[in-house]
């Protein structure tokens, strides 16, 4: 019994435990930058849908310049995220390219209608969440 | 009677009868699929159809959801084994096309 306790508390075993603990901490706290970028795209895309959802069937006051500026900013985020992905993992580039296409379609719909029905917004957010979450889960499991 | 049947029953045009039956069968087959993407696609397409029949979504909104889902489905189909691709395509892309080209136009005429 005491022998075992002495073995566990030797300086070398404490050092091994400390290294193992710090490595585990890194693995859980730090996400790869690719996942962080996709998570940011997901957040900004969902926020865009929320922003342009009609409140009580009434479109908010339409500001074309503000809308154009917002769309340009988000489009640039997709472009930057795609450019930041290594060519060695074409699936990631393809995923971001497809997600950018979805965003452009959503932006075109808002440009036409000026606001989105609450039903559409709920359905669209479900569609987007599944799209981004499936990709993020696949990246985490790899 | 399911909400989807309620929605489809609003379509009285006899020339769309076969399309309605086919659509309902495809949705039910998709919902019973073991693949999460196919199951979810069928459930979402069913919900979108019900929302249009309840006048809660516009045609443009429906078309947006269908075209976006088609982009995602093409990616999913390509990721499947060759032998499974035809079935996956039928239960996702083809079903969405049927909804957009046959079911929705007739449904909009019926509910407007």
User: A1-45 pLDDT, tens per residue?
Assistant: 444 555 455 666 555 545 554 444 444 445 678 899 999 999 999
Minimal C-alpha gap between B69 and chain A (Å): 8
Q: Which residues of A touch B51 (CB under 8 A)?
A: 119-120, 123
pLDDT of residue B10: 95
Is 0.90 topped by the overall pTM? no
Which of A94, A120, A130 lies at the smallest CB-CB distance from B61? A120
CB contact under 8 A, B71 and A101: yes
Q: What is the CA radius of gyration of chain B?
A: 14
Q: Is the ipTM value over 0.90, yes or no? A: yes
Is residue B40 less than 8 Å (CB to CB) from chain A?
Answer: yes
* Count of structural domains, chain B: 1
* Percent of chain B scoring above 70 in pLDDT: 100
A to B CB pairs, distance under 8 Å:
55
Residue by residue, DSSP assigns A31-97 as PPHHHHHHHHHHHHHHHHHHHTBPBTTBPPPP-HHHHHHHHHHHHHHHHHHHHHS-TT-HHHHHHHH
- Judged on CB neighbours under 10 Å (0-12, 13-18, 19+), B101 is exposed
Helix (H), strand (E), coil (C) string for A3-46 = HHHHHHCCHHHHHHHHHHHHHHHHHHHCCCHHHHHHHHHHHHHH
Find the domain containing B19 and state its range: 3-111
pLDDT of residue A2: 47
Minimal C-alpha gap between B44 and chain A (Å): 8
């Amino acid at each position: 019994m005491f022998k075992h306790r002495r073995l566990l508390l030797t300086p070398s075993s404490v050092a091994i435990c400390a290294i193992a603990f710090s490595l585990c901490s890194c693995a859980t706290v730090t996400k790869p930058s690719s996942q962080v970028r996709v998570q940011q795209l997901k957040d900004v895309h969902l926020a865009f849908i929320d922003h342009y959802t009609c409140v009580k069937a009434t479109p908010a006051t339409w500001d074309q310049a503000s809308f154009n500026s917002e769309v340009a900013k988000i489009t640039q985020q997709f472009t930057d995220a795609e450019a930041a992905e290594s060519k060695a993992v074409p699936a990631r580039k393809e995923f971001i390219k497809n997600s950018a296409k979805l965003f452009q379609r959503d932006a075109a719909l808002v440009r036409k209608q000026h606001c989105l029905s609450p039903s559409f917004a709920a359905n669209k957010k479900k569609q987007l969440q599944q799209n981004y979450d499936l990709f993020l889960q696949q990246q985490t499991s790899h | 009677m399911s909400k989807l049947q309620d929605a489809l029953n609003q379509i009285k045009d006899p020339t769309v009868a076969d399309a309605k039956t086919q659509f309902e069968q495809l949705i039910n087959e998709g919902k019973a699929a073991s693949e999460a993407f196919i199951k979810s696609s069928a459930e979402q397409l069913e919900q979108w159809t019900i929302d249009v029949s309840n006048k809660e979504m516009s045609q443009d909104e429906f078309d947006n959801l269908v075209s976006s889902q088609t982009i995602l489905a093409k990616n999913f189909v390509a990721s499947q084994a060759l032998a499974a691709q035809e079935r996956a395509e039928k239960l996702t892309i083809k079903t969405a096309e049927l909804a957009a080209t046959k079911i929705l136009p007739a449904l909009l005429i019926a509910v407007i």
